[in-house]
Amino acid sequence: MDSLETAVRHHSGIAVDRIPFWVGLLHHLAPRTVAEVGVWRGDFAAAMLAGCESIARYDLIDPWRHLPDWNKPANIEDATFEQHLAATLAKTEFAATRRRVLRGRTTEVADQIVDANLDFAYIDGDHTLRGITIDLLTMWPKVKPGGFIGGDDLWPTIWQHEARFEPTLVFPFVLHFAEAMGARLFALPHAQFLLQKNLVNPGSARGFTFTDLTGRYGDPSLRRQFLAAPMPTPVSER
């Protein structure tokens, strides 16, 4: 086991929730340049900026507006998104010189991040198949070789929410993405994942490994879920 896996296992074992896990792991990884896709009210950003002194620049990526083509419960009305942006600015004001607000969808603002610039990106925006596909493909070139992408809402079921909402496809998409990119992938407690970009030969499929610390992600098959009847129970009701 190398030092990354040792640190991931250590912080997974002691953290009671995702935020203390990422504060602990980022403290170990000591990133300088970080981006968060999907910021909401800024709680995650504030915790990372407060807990990780190594962070010199933290990009906050979020449209903070109602999106007509995003069928998820977090797609609220514009007025509340304005309040969430104001709350984010207030919570991260102590780190105003280290933050950069990139207001827009990932695809609308990613050009403002130089390629191979980020040590760490946290993806927590649109978790539909469209969203996770766009976010991983858009943010991957922004991450340095040897750098990391973490993310939220890695559920073993696509039915994170009720069936009237679009399914969540972080899993298995991130697993297939890691294989295609030759990346290391960890499935973590609290519905988190961690990808590491191959340092020596990013792009070679040969570096792919998958370490599931939860034992919940052994079956990436969608067929099993599509054939399940009656309609599977959403995560929120389990």
Verify binding: residue 166, ligand SAM, rule CB under 6 A: no
Min. distance of Cβ 216 from ligand SAM in angstroms?
A: 20
Residue matched to tokens 């980020």: 118
With respect to ligand SAM, which residue has the nearer C-beta, 112 or 221? 112
With respect to ligand SAM, which residue has the nearer C-beta, 4 or 67? 67
With respect to ligand SAM, which residue has the nearer C-beta, 153 or 207? 153
Q: What are the contacts of 107-110 at 24+ separation with CB within 8 A?
A: 107/134, 107/138, 108/63, 109/61, 110/61, 110/138, 110/139, 110/142
At 55, list the tokens.
């962070």
- Given the rule CB under 6 A, which of 30-38, 48-56, 94-102, 189-197 is the region that contacts ligand SAM? 30-38
Verify binding: residue 22, ligand SAM, rule CB under 6 A: no
Q: Give the contact letters, 122-161, x = binds to ligand SAM (CB under 6 A), - = no.
A: --xxx----x------------------------------
3-state secondary structure of 141: helix
Please report, as residue ranges, which positions from 49 to 108 form the binding site for ligand SAM (by CB under 6 A). Answer: 61-64, 67, 70, 74, 105-106
Least Cα distance to 142 among 118, 125, 122 occurs for 118
Cα 160 to chain center, whole Å?
16
Q: How many CB atoms lie within 10 A of CB 5?
A: 14
Residues of this chain that interact with ligand SAM (CB under 6 A) are 36-40, 43-44, 61-64, 67, 70, 74, 105-106, 124-126, 131
